[in-house]
Amino acid sequence: MQARFQTRITELFGIEHPLLCGGLMWLADARYVGAVVNAGAMGFITPRSFPDLDAFRAQLADCQEITCGRPFGVNLYISGQANQNDRVDAWIEASLGAGVRHFETAGFSPSRWLPRLQAEGAVVIHKCTTIRHALRAERDGVDAVALVGHECGGHPGTNTLSAATLGSLAAEQLRVPFVLGGGMGTGSQLVSALSLGADGVLLGSRMLVSEEIWAHENYKNHLVDLDASSTTTVLSTFGKTYRCLDNEAARRVRDLEAQGISDFDAYRDLVRGEAARTAYETGDWSHGILSLGPAISFADTVEPAADIIQRFIHQAQHATERVGHLNPTHPGAR
């Protein structure tokens, strides 16, 4: 019988497993999120991935059909540039109108939008890279926090702490439920996170090899061949550290940084988001700054999202049994 890990997060999100599959820029669409949700986890559609509001609404409708009434989520990235948040209100209204009541926010504080979301009974989890920001989010009134360590693909910020260290600190200081992200790729890490006091884990890179991810098969097959040393960080020059695939584009960015070049125009073509989308479309992974963390090293095949999640839970069950044998009162202990 498969173990069930019931936590404050499974209760808050109404899910079977304490696994949140975070928003993936360009990639988290209805097909992928629906597959994650149907497997008992929670996924978040990323509205910034779509060209306009109608396209986003179509994704919401598709996900409703795929999940047959199961709850799914929407990711809201809050930019530090006010003009980049012009569409957030429209995304929220479209989401609420479609029955979405689970939101993952990231970037800057979501406090401006919390009253509207929570007036509709929505659950908001805010993604942070530091305990200080997590405590601020808690004071602002979010329902839960996702804390990501420096291992995470994408934006770890200026954080130099691991997910494990953040988890221990959060257990002592936070009152709201929290999950840990960054390098999470196997079920034993779920057990580790729970033992630290977390209520679940946040998955990102591990899910990139899901069959339902629309990226080119050549790219996904390349990911399967990678190890934990296949990522790098760039853009620390600008205080916007980004963990990504160690490809030609990333190496060129690192070279510019090593030369002390601080004019962002020199980097613009290398780091623009459209280059990443093109890489996903064509399978040419040499171009674009492609978000990726060391959790990819746990991926050994391209398979359905449901299989990844089930494997994750089976691994967690085995890890729980191993830990149980350390208890001197356990029947199997020596």
The length of the chain, given as a count of residues: 334
Q: How confident is the model over 160-211, as pLDDT tens digits? A: 899 999 999 999 999 999 999 999 999 999 999 999 999 999 999 999 999 9
pLDDT of residue 330: 58
Q: Is the pLDDT of residue 293 over 80?
A: yes
Q: Evaluate whether residue 36 is within a structural domain.
A: yes
**How far is the C-alpha of 183 from the C-alpha of 310, rounded, in Å?**
18
How many domains are contained in the chain? 1
Of the candidates 282, 276, 269, the one whose C-alpha atom is nearest the C-alpha of residue 247 is 276
Q: Report, as an integer, the average pLDDT of 65-86.
A: 94
**How far is the C-alpha of 167 from the C-alpha of 165, rounded, in Å?**
5
Q: Evaluate whether residue 80 is within a structural domain.
A: yes
Q: Evaluate whether residue 286 is within a structural domain.
A: no
The DSSP code for 291 is B
Q: Is the pLDDT of residue 267 over 60?
A: yes
**How far is the C-alpha of 254 from the C-alpha of 138, rounded, in Å?**
36
Residue 45: CB atoms within 10 A of its CB come to 27
pLDDT of residue 80: 87
Give the Cα-Cα-Cα angle 70, 78, 34 (nearest 5 degrees): 20
Q: Evaluate whether residue 278 is within a structural domain.
A: no
Q: Evaluate whether residue 169 is within a structural domain.
A: yes
pLDDT band at 331 (very low <50, low <70, confident <90, very high): low
**How far is the C-alpha of 250 from the C-alpha of 291, rounded, in Å?**
11
Q: Please tell me whether the overall predicted TM-score, pTM, comes out greater than 0.85 for this model.
A: yes
Q: Evaluate whether residue 171 is within a structural domain.
A: yes
Greater confidence, 329 or 275? 275
Report how far apart, in Å, the C-alpha atoms of 196 and of each of 110, 126, 200, 315 are.
Answer: 27, 20, 10, 18
pLDDT of residue 234: 97
Q: Report, as an integer, the average pLDDT of 244-249.
A: 98
Range of the domain at 87: 8-207+305-312
Q: Evaluate whether residue 223 is within a structural domain.
A: no
Q: Evaluate whether residue 95 is within a structural domain.
A: yes
Q: Which residues of 117-148 are buried (b: 16+ CB within 10 A; e: fewer)?
A: beeeebbbbbbbbbbebbbbbbeeebbbbbbb
CATH number of the CATH domain containing 138:
3.20.20.70
pLDDT of residue 334: 46
Q: Report, as an integer, the average pLDDT of 55-80.
A: 97
Greater confidence, 99 or 330? 99
Round the average pLDDT of the chain to a whole number and report it: 95
Q: Report, as an integer, the average pLDDT of 283-295.
A: 97
